[in-house]
A and B are shown apart, each in its own frame.
Chain A
Amino acid sequence: MAVLAFGSLPRFLVRTAYAEGRSTRPRIVIAVFQRGAVDGLSMVVPHGDPEYYRARGSVAIARPAPGNPETALDLDGHFGLHPALGPLKALWDGRRLAVVHACGSPDTTRSHFDAQDYMESGTPGVKSTPDGWLARGLQALPAGSPSPFRAVALGPQLPRILRGDAGALAMSSVADFDVKSEMVAVTGTVDARRGFESMYERGVHDLLYGTGRETFEAVKILKAASPPRFPPANGAEYPRGPFGERLRQIVQLIKADIGLEVAFVDVGGWDTHAAQGNERGQLAQRFSAFGEGLAALDRDLGARMDDVVVLTMSEFGRTVRENGNRGTDHGHATAMLVLGGPVQGGRVHGRWPGLRMEQLYEGRDLAVTTDFRNLFAEIAIRHLGVPAVAPLFPGFPIDPARYPGVLV
C-alpha cells in the first residue's frame, strides 16, 4: 500500500474499533508553553532566601504578610506564589499543584529561538532532530488509540513539540475545524463539504486521498461529539483572551470523549526586559490571566482532572539581578508547574541551588538542578504510559531515580 510508504498510518481504517472498544478513559497531558522565558523567581518566589531581596529591588515580590494581598502567597515557608497567581493557591492547598523549581536545559543558550527549539525537540544542543518529543512519545504508545484527535494543538500551526508521525493536528478553534460552507449568502446554506468529500473519498491510494478521507472522518466525529454543547461547569470562569478561550476549548474536547490524549497551548508575553513590575504591573497582569485560566480549567473539568496532568514549561528563566531598565534579562533555570489529580502536589520539587554569587550559573542566573527531560520523562512515562525504552530523548538515559517525583 502506497500510503504506508509515506509513513502515514491509515488511522481511519481502525477508528471504528476505537469507537466500540476502550472502556477506560485515556490519560491526558495538557502542555502549556510560556513562550518568551518566564521569570521563575517571580512566579514562585524564594522569599526565604535573603539573596533574593539583595539582588532585586523594584521587581522583587514582598515577603508574605498575612492580610496583605500584595505580598507573596506563602507555600512552605521558603517559597511563595506571586500574588496574581492567587487562583492557584487553592490547588496547592488541595495538593493538586506541584512546583519544580530550578528546572531547565543543560544547554547554555540564551536564545529564545534555540532554547524553545531544544525544549520541544527534546534534544538540547542538537538542531537537526526532525520531530518533537511529545510526538515521539505518542508514537511509542501501544496501538489501539487511533483517534484523529489524540494530539491537538490549539492555535494556527502545529508546534515543534508535536511534529512527527503521531498524527497530531492544529486547529485555531473547534468551530474552525470544518468546511466553511456559508460562502454565498444568496444561495443560503450550502454544503460544500459534500462536494469536497466526494472528491477525496474515492480512494486511499496515496497520502492526499488518505488524508482527505481522514479529514472528513475527523470533521464528522467532531460534529457528532459537538464539543460546544459543554459550557463551563462548576462555575468555572475563563479569563478573556486567546489563552482562556483555548483552555476552554481543550476542556470541551476532553469532555466530548473523542480520544484526546495530548493537548498543547501557547501563552506569550513573558519577555520582561523592561518595566517588569512586581506585585502589580506588566508581569503581574500576565500571571493573573495565566493563573485564572489554569484554575478555571481545573474547576471546569472537575472529576475528570483525575485523568489529567497539566504541565507548564518555558525555554529558560531570567537573570537573578534586575537590569538597568527595571526588568530582567535572559537567564537559565526557571520554575515549572504541574497540576492535576495524579500530581504529588503541595510540594516544591527539585533541589534549590541557592542565589549566592558562587551558586549562580555563570555568576548571574539560577542554576539548573533538574534537567527538564527528567520532568518530561516522568510525566510521559508514568502518566501517559509511554514505554521507558521509547526514543523520547535520544542520547539521554532515562533513570527513574532522577525523576523529580511530581506524580503520586
Chain B
Amino acid sequence: MGIADQAVEQELRAYPILAMSAAELVRDYPRPKPQDVQKREASGMTPKEMTPKEMMDPFPPERRPYRIIEAMQAAKLTRAIWSERQLQEVMVDFWFNHFNVFALKGAVQWMVPAYEREAIRPYALGRFRDLLRATARHPAMLFYLDNWRSTHADFIVPAGPNQGRRLGLNENYGRELMELHTLGVDGGYTQQDVIEVARCFTGWTIDRPEQGGGFVFRSRTHDEGPKRVLGHLISAGGGEKDGERVLDILIRHPSTARFVSTKLIRRFVSDEPPPALVDRAARAFRATDGDIRAVLTTIFTSPEFFSAGAYRAKIKTPLEVVASAARAIGAEIEPSSTGAPSAPSGALVLARQVAKLGEPVYEAQPPTGYADTAEAWINTGALLNRMNFALALAGRRLPALRVDLDRTVSGADRSQPQQVLDRLLTAILHGEVTSETRAILAAQLDSPEITRVTDNDRIPKNTDVQKLAALVLGSPEFQRR
C-alpha cells in the first residue's frame, strides 16, 4: 500500500540476504567450525604450526557470518537515503532501536534479517501490541535477552552435552520488557514483578538456535505455579498463555502509554518532551489501544511540533547526517560495485561512515539501543568526524559512490561564486541558514582556495564547488534536523 518505491526495491535486490530465513543463513554463512580445523590437523598440520590465517582458510570471507550484518547495514542506508517511504523507514529504525537486539551476540547474527522483516517492519505504523507480541516470540529477542535458556528453578538438563546441569530462572527479558519495552524504569514495577514475569515466560524458547530454529514452547521447562504480576493473579497451569497474559497486562498499563509516547516525542519534537504533549499523546495511545498512527498524528498536528522551540531543536544522529548528506547532494551508488563480493558497495561505504560517526547500525550492544539526545552524539572527536565526513563525501573520496556536484549547482554561473553558494544552500539546507553562517561562507568566497583566481584574467574565476559544499555539509546548521 501507499507510496511506490520501485527504485529502492530494485537496489535492494543486491542483498538476497534480506529475504533469507535464519536456517538458510546458518547454512550459507556458517560459523567457522572447529571440526574443520581438526580435519586439517589430521592432514598433518597441528594447530601449533598453523597461523590464525591458515586456520581460517576453510572459511572464505564471502561466507563469514559478518556478511549478513553488512548486507543489513547496506540495506539500511539504501532505504534511509532513497526510500520514498521515509516515515516508514524512520519508524522501522525507531522500533528496532526500541526493541533492540545486538547483531553480534552469538546466534542473533543469523536471526537479524528475519527479526526486522517479521517482527518490526510489518507493524512499524501499526499497533504497539503487535510489535510487542512479535518481538516477545522472536528467536532474536529470545536469544539476545537470554529468555531461551530461562527455566523453572529446579530444571535439570536431561540429555545432551549439558546433561545433569541445573538451569534456572533468567530475569533478563522480564526486566528489560518492563524497563525498556513497556513501563519505563519508573513505571511502577518491583523486583518481585521482574521475577514473576520471568517465571511466566519460562518455556518460551528456541528450537535449536544454532541451526536457525523458530519459537517453541517447552512445557517441561515452564514454571507451572501461580504468579502475581503488577497485582494481577495469573493462576497455575496457564502454560504458554502466562506470557501472553503478561503482555496484555503491560499493553494496557498507563505507564506504557506514557513511556512510549515520551520516546516518540523525544524522537520527533525535542530532547525534553513537553509534558502537555506527552499527556495528549498518551491519551491517544490509550483511546486507540496503542494505534501508532493515531499517536503520531497527535504529535505531528500539535502546536508543540510547530513551535519555535522545536524548530531545528534536534541534533541529527550519525545515520541522519550521512543519509541526509548523501540525499542533499544526490549521491548515487556506482552500479558496477553493487553486489560485488570483494569490494564494498557504495551503500556499505556509507554505512561504515555512520559507524565512524559512532552509530554502527545493528551493533548497539546494550538493550537500550542508541540514545536519542544531543549530548550522546556531540563531542569533540565526533564533531571532527562529521566535518571530515563532509569533506570526504563532497571531495569524492568515498569509493563506490558517484557524487556529481555540477548537477547540484546546475544553472549557477561558476564564475559567480555567490550564485554557486546560494544554489548549495538551497540544495543542502533548503536555504535555511543563519545570517552569520551565510556571511562566513560568503567571506570564504574571497579566498583563492575557493575561487581559483588565475594569472590570466581572460579565464573567468571558477568556484571550487567541492570545498564549498563540504563547508555547508559540515556547518552547524547541517548538524540539526
Residues on A lying within 8 angstroms of B by beta carbon are 6-8, 111-113, 116-117, 127-128, 148, 156-158, 160, 167-171, 176-181, 183-184, 187, 190-192, 195-196, 198-200, 202, 207-209, 211-212, 214-215, 218-219, 269, 273-282, 285, 325-327
Contact = CB atoms under 8 A, between A and B. Distances in A.
A198 B375 contact: no
Q: Is the interface of A mostly helix, strand, loop or mixed?
A: loop
A320 to B, nearest CB: 16
A128 B172 CA distance: 12
B471 A200 contact: no
Interface of B: 34-35, 37-38, 41, 47-52, 55, 102, 104-106, 146, 175-176, 179, 185, 315, 355-356, 358, 360, 365-368, 374-375, 378-381, 383-384, 387-388, 391-392, 394-395, 397, 436-437, 440-441, 443-444, 449, 452, 464, 466-467, 470-471, 474-476, 479-480
Contacts of B440: 195, 198-199, 202
B144 to A, nearest CB: 9
B361 to A, nearest CB: 13
Nearest to B104: A113
A111 B380 CA distance: 33
A14 to B, nearest CB: 16
Contacts of A208: 315, 374, 378, 383, 476, 479-480
Contact of B449 (A7, A191, A219): A191
Q: Is the interface of B mostly helix, strand, loop or mixed?
A: helix
B384 A113 contact: no
Given A111-B146, A184-B395, A187-B467, A199 B476 contact: yes
Contacts of B391: 179-181, 183, 192
B310 to A, nearest CB: 15
A359 B149 CA distance: 26
Nearest to A200: B476
A318 B384 CA distance: 40
A124 to B, nearest CB: 14
Contact of B379 (A113, A167, A176, A191): A167
Contact of A190 (B35, B392, B467): B467
A117 B364 CA distance: 12
Given A207-B375, A275-B47, A281-B48, A218 B365 contact: no
A8 B449 CA distance: 35
B32 to A, nearest CB: 9
A196 B440 CA distance: 9
Contacts of B365: 113, 116-117, 160
Contacts of A157: 355, 358, 360
Given A211-B383, A273-B34, 10 more contacts: A6-B375, A156-B355, A156-B356, A158-B381, A177-B381, A187-B449, A191-B449, A195-B444, A211-B380, A280-B48
B52 A169 contact: no
B34 A285 contact: no
B48 A278 contact: yes
B34 A275 contact: yes
A187 B384 contact: no
Contacts of B441: 195, 199
Contacts of A280: 48-49
Contacts of B102: 113
Contacts of A184: 395, 464, 466-467
Contact of A212 (B383, B388, B480): B383
A373 B441 CA distance: 52
A8 to B, nearest CB: 6
A192 to B, nearest CB: 6
Contacts of A273: 34
Nearest to B271: A6
A269 B368 contact: no
A112 B146 CA distance: 13
A158 B355 CA distance: 12
Contacts of A277: 47-48
A215 B471 contact: no
Given A156-B355, A325-B38, A8 B387 contact: no
Nearest to A191: B449
A282 B52 contact: yes
Contacts of A183: 391-392, 394-395, 397, 466-467, 470
Interface-central residue, A111, A195, A202, A209, by most chain B CB under 10 Å: A195
A223 B187 CA distance: 50
The 5 closest A-B pairs by CB, nearest first: A274-B34, A183-B395, A275-B47, A325-B34, A169-B381
Nearest to B52: A282
Contacts of A192: 387, 391, 467, 470-471, 474
A214 B275 CA distance: 33
Contacts of B34: 273-275, 325-327
Contact of B387 (A171, A196, A202): A196
Contacts of A191: 449
B471 A195 contact: yes
Contacts of B475: 196, 199
16 contacts: A6-B374, A112-B105, A117-B366, A127-B175, A183-B394, A192-B470, A195-B471, A198-B443, A199-B441, A199-B474, A199-B475, A208-B476, A211-B383, A269-B52, A274-B38, A275-B34
